[in-house]
Amino acid sequence: MRAAPTILHLDMDAFYASVEQASKPSLRGKAVIVGGLGPRGVVATASYEARRFGVHSAMPTAQARRLCPNGAYLVPRFSLYRAVSDLVMARLRVLSPLVEPLSLDEAFVDLEAGGRAFDSAGARATGERLRADIRAATGLSASVGLAGSKMLAKVASEEAKPDGLLLIQPGTERELLAPMTVRTLPGVGPATGEHLRRAGITTVGELVEAGEDELVRMVGRSHGVGLYRMALGLDDRPVVAERDTKSVSVEDTFDVDLHDRVRIRTEVQRLADRCVRRLRESGHSGRTIVLKVRRYDFSTLTRSETLRGPTDDPAVVREAAARLLEGVDTTGGVRLLGVGVTGLADYTQEDLFAQASAAVPDAPDVPDPGGAEAGPSEGAGGGGAQEAVTVTAPPAGEGAPEPAAERRWLAGTDVRHAEHGPGWVQGSGVGRVTVRFEQPGSAPGRVRTFRVDDPALEPSDPLPLVGDAGPA
């Protein structure tokens, strides 16, 4: 514990939904829900307007639609979220060399290590400037917590939400924590919380009253000692700069269970390509290829294969994933597939190309569906965004023409029309797609409807929220 509140915790407010509201002027002040849109989709983030209806993250999208039928339901746009996150993290790194990102929208900062604050007044001023800089750069609001430890800084930012700042003065921790629920403390999940509730302990103050010995008896020595220290507000963990990436993975949950083995192979190949793209974007290669299969009965299987050395070659990853799939029984159907790479390194092993060409010579070729893709299923409780592509069955006869894939447009995705310019998909169905033509900083735009195969309408990359003048 520090004698001054010089550890800062930043948490962007309803990040994905707020980015969507900022980039789509017609959605400002409206209920926005971001996540998987299919029958098995899961909410990744809900705007504060949607939360008033009881919608929250990790909730099935179908349930959210019942609670908030008039909300805007959008697929995630992770490339835009990462770009906005980069702007935010750049401002944190100006404050200190010790920045510990926890996710795209959350990080700890050691202000003392950056020489920015050594007392309460300096910490508060720095936090307020940071919030103003982030709003100027992105148009988004952020909540900031300041305290003498990481745990308390995170508690403070949560109490400050939305769009606020809370500083916890050293020496006031126990008084602040006492009335809070035990779930406030890190490591107290639903199971531990229920176990404590049955023992009559529901608040942090009651944890302190129970005493360390009683907590050790209830939940074990390691967890009990740690829980008691946290209840007292004691946390000596340092801010660790730039956590090393341990793995890169992508996965998709399907609206309908996949039964066709060729379709399943196709999806695995497509996921392998997506995984390699993310691997290369992160500047890594990897040695171990991991396949994840969740079957119709919710049983989840993982299979892995370790190569002779690290690679970022898509052919190597595709073929390793295909070999792993051969050992998985998909009878009965598959609801989720995922491909990942672990054992990351900053270099590649060139002779692995020989392994790709020599692997499984009798394995059938798997066609590439060549469709547009949604973002990785981050923060959606495994629900994920659905692929914007319809994969057709292979031709029945030798030399039969390949049937064309139907164009599908998912709500929230970016498009550009040859005449009307940039816009986003509001919805589609019955051969039609409805587009609202607007962009960040504009007035709410007009809505037009087109045929799904209109040649003038094309997918587009997201537009930046605002121009970036660089960190202040």
List active site positions: 106
pLDDT digits (tens, 9 = 90+) for 149-181: 999 999 999 999 999 999 999 999 999 999 999
Question: Does position 351 have pLDDT exceeding 90, yes or no?
Answer: no
3-state secondary structure of 407: coil
pLDDT digits (tens, 9 = 90+) for 221-246: 878 898 999 999 998 899 998 666 67
3-state secondary structure of 404: coil
More confident residue, 388 or 143: 143
Structure tokens at 387: 């692929």
pLDDT digits (tens, 9 = 90+) for 252-304: 988 889 999 999 999 999 999 999 999 888 888 899 999 999 998 888 899 99
Confidence band, pLDDT 50/70/90 cuts, at residue 348: low
Mean pLDDT over 19-34 rounds to: 97
pLDDT of 328 reads 92
pLDDT of 244 reads 64
Confidence band, pLDDT 50/70/90 cuts, at residue 349: low
Which one, of 96, 106, 235, 237, lies nearest residue 170 by Cα?
A: 235
Mean pLDDT over 50-60 rounds to: 94
pLDDT digits (tens, 9 = 90+) for 427-472: 999 999 999 999 998 999 999 999 999 999 999 999 998 644 444 4
pLDDT of 117 reads 85
pLDDT digits (tens, 9 = 90+) for 129-138: 999 999 999 9
Question: Does position 21 have pLDDT exceeding 80, yes or no?
Answer: yes
Distant-in-sequence, close-in-space partners of 457: CB < 8 Å, separation ≥ 6: 415, 416, 417, 418, 433, 435, 450
pLDDT digits (tens, 9 = 90+) for 58-73: 899 999 999 999 999 9
pLDDT of 389 reads 29
Pairing mode, strands 432-437 and 421-429? antiparallel
Confidence band, pLDDT 50/70/90 cuts, at residue 339: very high
pLDDT of 466 reads 66
Confidence band, pLDDT 50/70/90 cuts, at residue 196: very high
CATH architecture of 247-358: 2-Layer Sandwich (3.30)
Q: Dihedrals φ, ψ of 318, to 5°? A: -60, -45
Q: How many residues does the chain have?
A: 472
3-state secondary structure of 299: coil
pLDDT digits (tens, 9 = 90+) for 33-47: 999 888 888 899 999
Q: Answer yes or no: are the C-beta atoms of 143 and 161 closer than 8 Å.
A: yes
Distant-in-sequence, close-in-space partners of 106: CB < 8 Å, separation ≥ 6: 9, 10, 11, 12
Q: What is the DSSP letter of 301?
A: E
**Domain boundary assignment for the chain:** 180-231, 247-358
pLDDT of 99 reads 95
Q: Answer yes or no: are the C-beta atoms of 230 and 151 closer than 8 Å.
A: yes
Confidence band, pLDDT 50/70/90 cuts, at residue 147: very high
Q: Answer yes or no: are the C-beta atoms of 278 and 286 closer than 8 Å.
A: no
How far apart (Å, rounded) are the C-alpha atoms in residues 275 and 287?
13
Give the residue ranges of DSSP H helices in 96-189: 120-138, 150-160, 173-177
Distant-in-sequence, close-in-space partners of 344: CB < 8 Å, separation ≥ 6: 244, 245, 246, 247, 248, 279, 282, 284, 285, 286, 310
pLDDT of 406 reads 56
Q: Which CATH class is domain 180-231?
A: mainly alpha
Any idea which residue has 């360390």 for tokens?
Answer: 212
High-pLDDT (> 70) share of the chain, %: 85
pLDDT of 322 reads 94
pLDDT of 243 reads 63
pLDDT of 362 reads 31
Confidence band, pLDDT 50/70/90 cuts, at residue 401: very low
Question: Does position 365 have pLDDT exceeding 70, yes or no?
Answer: no
Q: Dihedrals φ, ψ of 168, to 5°? A: -100, 115
Mean pLDDT taken over the chain:
85
Question: Does position 373 have pLDDT exceeding 80, yes or no?
Answer: no
